[in-house]
Amino acid sequence: MNILQITSSVRGNDSESTRVTNLVVDKLVAANPGATVVRHDFGAQPHPALDGATVGALFTPPEQRTPEQAARVALNDALILEAQAADVIVIGAPMYNFGMPVQLKNWFDAIARAGVTFRYTENGPEGLLKNKKVYVATSRGGVYPVEADPQVPTLRMLLNFLGLTDHVFIYSSGMSMGPEAAAKGQEAANAAVEAAVA
Q: Is pLDDT larger for residue 147 or for residue 126?
A: 126
| pLDDT tens track for 38-61 | 999 999 999 999 999 999 999 999
Q: Are the C-beta atoms of residues 170 and 94 closer than 8 Å to each other?
A: no
**Residues contributing to the annotated binding site for FMN:** 9, 15-17, 95-98, 139-142
The answer to whether residue 108 scores a pLDDT higher than 90 is: yes
Q: What is the 3-state secondary structure (H, E, C) of 74-126?
A: HHHHHHHHHHHHCCEEEEECCCECCECCHHHHHHHHHHCCECCCEEEECCEEE
More confident residue, 76 or 198: 76
Q: Give the separation between CA 99 and CA 93, rounded to whole angstroms.
A: 9
CB 143 within 8 Å of CB 177: yes
According to DSSP H, which parts of the chain are helical?
16-31, 52-58, 67-85, 102-111, 152-161, 179-196
Percent of the chain with pLDDT strictly greater than 70? 100
Query: Is 4 in contact with 82 (CB distance < 8 Å)?
Result: yes
Predicted pLDDT of residue 146 = 87
Predicted pLDDT of residue 33: 93
Q: Which range of residues forms the domain containing residue 8?
A: 2-196
> Could you give the percent of the chain with pLDDT greater than 90?
98
The DSSP symbol for 34 reads T
In the annotated binding site, the residues are 9, 15-17, 95-98, 139-142
- How many Å apart are CA 59 and CA 65, to the nearest integer? 9
Q: Is the dihedral of CA 158, 97, 86, 115 positive or negative?
A: positive
| Whether residue 35 has pLDDT greater than 90 | yes
Query: Average pLDDT in the 115-144 region?
Result: 97
Measured CA to CA, the distance from residue 174 to residue 184 in angstroms comes to 8
CATH code of residue 125: 3.40.50.360
Q: Structural domain tally of the chain?
A: 1
